[in-house]
Amino acid sequence: MNDGVTGGVTALGLIRRWRDLSPDGVAVSGAGGELTFRELDDRIGRLADELRRRGAGPETPVGLCLDRTPAMIVAMLAVWAAGGAYVPLDPAFPEERLRLMREDAGVALVLTQPSVDARLLDGVRDVVRLTPDGTPLDPATGPAADTIPDAPSVASSSPAYLMYTSGSTGRPKGVVVPHRAVANLLESFASLLELTPGDAWLAVTTLSFDISVLELLLPLVCGARVVVASAHETADGRALRARAVAEAVTVMQATPASWRILLESGGVPEGIRTRLCGGEALPRDLADALLDGGARLWNVYGPTETTVWSTAGRVAPSPAPVDLGEPIGRTTVRVLGPDGRPVPPGEAGELHIGGAGVAVGYRGMPALTASRFLPDPFSGMPGARMYATGDLVAVRDGRLHYLGRADQQVKVRGFRIELGEIETALRAAPGVADAAAGVCDGPDGLPRLVAYLVPGPRDPAARATERAEGDDAEAWAALRERLRRSLPDYMVPAHHVVLDALPLTPNGKLDRKALPPPEWTRARTAPYRPPASALEEELVAMWGEVLGVEEPIGVDDDFFELGGHSLTATRINARIQARFTVVVPIAVLFEHPTVAELAVEMNRLDDDDLDLVEVAALRDELDGLDADELAALFDELAPDA
C-alpha cells in the first residue's frame, strides 16, 4: 500500500508503520472477527485497488453506509489509500436525509454491506458491498478490472472526510476536514494518552459522529487494538459491558449519556483505566462516578469544524471544577468579545480556535464559511484562520470553563443540533402556521427536545398540533412520524406545546427564554387503558418513576413517545432484571415499546412458566427474613431434609 503522502504525514502513514513493527498483532476485532496489522493492510490495499478500478481518485467523495464491523475501518483507510475522502452515511438515518447528503457531497460511489437496507441507497450509481472484514463482494468486471490506476499522491491539505452536521437552514451542512488536521489530532492524543500495544480501545460511536475518528484510528497509530462494538451492544449497556470485559478493554471514549448507560448497567469495568468524556458538558456527579477506583478521566472538547477535540483536561476529584482543560498540540484558543478583542481573564467571551485542526470550511457554502472561519490576526502567519465556535467560555486560573451557547445550537445526548433545522421541518408540516424548538430538562433531569406549535387557521390538519386525548394524540404521533422521514431520531422532539403565538422580543425576534416548559403530566400518547395484570401494574410504576411522568401511564402508551431514549431504556431494563427472574434483552423494549407488549414478551421469555410478580414478591419476602427465620421456613417446607 503506497502512502503517497506529500506535504506532511497522514493517519494512513502513521498506521502503516505497525504493519512492519507488529505484523501479527491484532489490530481490529469485532462482529466480523479479527484482523492483524498485516491482514488489515492487505484488506485496505485490495479495497483501494477496487475503488481505483471504479474511478476513485484524488479528493473523490466515497460514501460509507456500513454496519458496525471491522469493515468500517478497512473502508475508511481504503478510501484514503485510493486518494479519496469518505462521507459517513449512517444506516440509521432516514432515506431522505441520506439522499440530501449524497447529493450535496457529490457521492456516486458507496461502500455498504448486504445487511444494510438497499433502499437507503436508491439512485446511487455505483455500490460496492463488503464482507464484515472489508472484502468486496462485487469486484469490478470488464476492461476496467484489467488495469488498476497507480496509487495517487495524497497531499496533507487534501480532504480526509466530509462530516455532515445539523444545519440552521433545514439542510445538513458538510464540514471538509483535511488530512493534516486528522494527523495532528492523532499525534497529539498519542502523546497525551500514552497508549501502548497492550491497550484495547472499545469503539462505540457511529461513523457519522466525528469522535469516531479518534477511537477508530488512535489505537492503530499506537499499535494497540480497536474493539468495534456492534450496533446491538452500543444500545444495550449490559451487552456493552460484557464485550468490554471479554475483550479486556483498557480505554473508552463516550458522551455523558453513553457513560451513564454503562453505569446503569453494572458499572464501568475496572479494566477501563483510561476514560474520555466529551460531546456535551460533563456533570460533576458523573465525573466523580467515572473517577471511582482511580481511573484516569479526560474531559475533551471540540467542534467538528476543528477536528474532533481541540482541548483536553485531566479531571480532578471533587471539589475541583470540571473544566475544558488546555489546547492540544499546534492548537490555539482565544476568548474574544463582540469587538473581536480578547476579554480579560474571568470574563465571558466567545471561544475562537485556531491552528492545525481548523477545517477547510463548509462544502458549497462560501458565505457561511467566511462568517465562521475568520482570519486569525493573533497567529502572525499569513493566511492563518480561526473558527468562531459560538460557545461562551471564561478563563479562570489558566483553564477554560464552558458557560453555554451564544446561538441556537444545542447538544442533546452528545449530538450537535441546530434548532433551526427542526423548526424548518415543523413549519413544513400541514396545519402548522409557525413553530419553534427548544430544550428543557425533563423530570429525569436530562435534556429533552420540545416542539412549540402554532396551529394554522381553519385547517383540519391542525389537529396534529392540538393538545388533547384520543385521536389528537394519534395526530401528534403522525406529525412525529413525518419528522422522522427527514430528521434523525435524536432530532425528533418527544414533547410539544401548543401556543396561540410564539413569544417575541421587542424587536420582533423569537424570545426563546419565554418559551414555556411542557406539562410533563400530559405526555400520554394513546387513549388511556389501565393495567390488566399485576405485571403490567409494576411496569407502569417503573415507567412513571424513571420517566418522571406523574399522570397515570396507560399500557398502550409508547415508551419513546413519553420521552424515553437509550439511557432511560437502559434504566428500565436494569430495573426489570433486578426485580424479576427473567433476562430481557434491551432490544425487546425497542421492538415492543408499550407496557402491554413488553409484558407479553416478558412472559414469553420466562422459561419456567412461573408468575413473574409472585416470584418477585416471594423473593422480597425471603430477603426480609433473618438466618433463623430462613432456617425455620426451610424445616417447615422440607422436614425430612
CB 325 within 8 A of CB 313: yes
Q: Are residues 514 and 538 in the same domain?
A: no
Q: Are residues 513 and 428 in the same domain?
A: yes
In a domain, 444, yes or no: yes
CB 131 within 8 A of CB 115: no
| Domain end point (choices 518, 550, 575) | 518
DSSP β-bridge partners for residue 327: 311
**CATH number of domain containing 441:** 3.30.300.30
What was the pLDDT predicted at 2? 40
Per residue in 140-164, pLDDT tens?
A: 764 454 566 666 778 899 999 999 9
Q: Are residues 559 and 503 in the same domain?
A: no
What was the pLDDT predicted at 73? 98
What was the pLDDT predicted at 459? 44
Q: Which amino acid is at 390?
A: G
In a domain, 204, yes or no: no
In a domain, 183, yes or no: no
Angstrom distance (rounded) from CA 530 to CA 191? 59
- Torsion angle, alpha carbons of 366, 368, 370, 375, to 10: -140
For 480, other C-beta atoms within 10 Å of its C-beta total 22
CB 252 within 8 A of CB 298: no
CB 78 within 8 A of CB 44: yes
The residue segments making up the domain with residue 590 are 534-623
What was the pLDDT predicted at 584? 83
What was the pLDDT predicted at 253? 98
Q: Are residues 420 and 510 in the same domain?
A: yes
Residues 6+ apart with CB under 8 A from 282: 256, 299, 315, 322
What was the pLDDT predicted at 410? 86
What was the pLDDT predicted at 6? 43
In a domain, 279, yes or no: no
Q: Are residues 498 and 595 in the same domain?
A: no
Q: Are residues 548 and 604 in the same domain?
A: yes
Angstrom distance (rounded) from CA 423 to CA 416? 15
What was the pLDDT predicted at 412? 85
Q: Are residues 444 and 506 in the same domain?
A: yes
Q: Dihedral sign for Cα 521, 527, 528, 532, please.
A: negative
Q: Which grid coordinates belong to 465?
A: 398540533
**CATH number of domain containing 602:** 1.10.1200.10
In the block, residue with C-alpha cell 412513571: 544
Domain count, the chain: 2
Three-class SS state of 349 = strand
Angstrom distance (rounded) from CA 184 to CA 203? 20
What was the pLDDT predicted at 489? 86
What was the pLDDT predicted at 507? 64
Write out the E strands in 89-246.
109-112, 126-129, 154-155, 159-165, 173-178, 200-203, 225-228
Q: How far out from the chain centre does Cα 517 lie?
A: 25
Q: Are residues 414 and 514 in the same domain?
A: yes
Consecutive 10-residue averages of pLDDT for the chain (641 residues): 53 92 97 94 96 95 97 98 97 94 97 96 96 91 57 86 86 94 97 97 95 98 97 89 96 91 90 95 92 96 97 95 95 96 94 98 96 95 95 90 83 84 89 89 83 73 43 74 90 89 77 86 69 92 84 87 80 83 81 92 74 58 55 54 46
In a domain, 113, yes or no: no
Angstrom distance (rounded) from CA 103 to CA 84? 17
Q: Are residues 512 and 538 in the same domain?
A: no
Q: What is the pTM of this model?
A: 0.81
Q: Are residues 484 and 564 in the same domain?
A: no
In a domain, 225, yes or no: no
In a domain, 285, yes or no: no
Angstrom distance (rounded) from CA 204 to CA 559? 24
Q: Are residues 506 and 539 in the same domain?
A: no
Q: Are residues 476 and 572 in the same domain?
A: no
Angstrom distance (rounded) from CA 93 to CA 354? 32
Per residue in 75-130, pLDDT tens?
A: 999 999 999 999 999 999 999 999 999 999 999 999 999 999 999 999 999 999 99
DSSP β-bridge partners for residue 33: 30
What was the pLDDT predicted at 162? 98
In a domain, 460, yes or no: yes
Pairing of strands 61-65, 85-88: parallel
Q: Which amino acid is at 139?
A: P
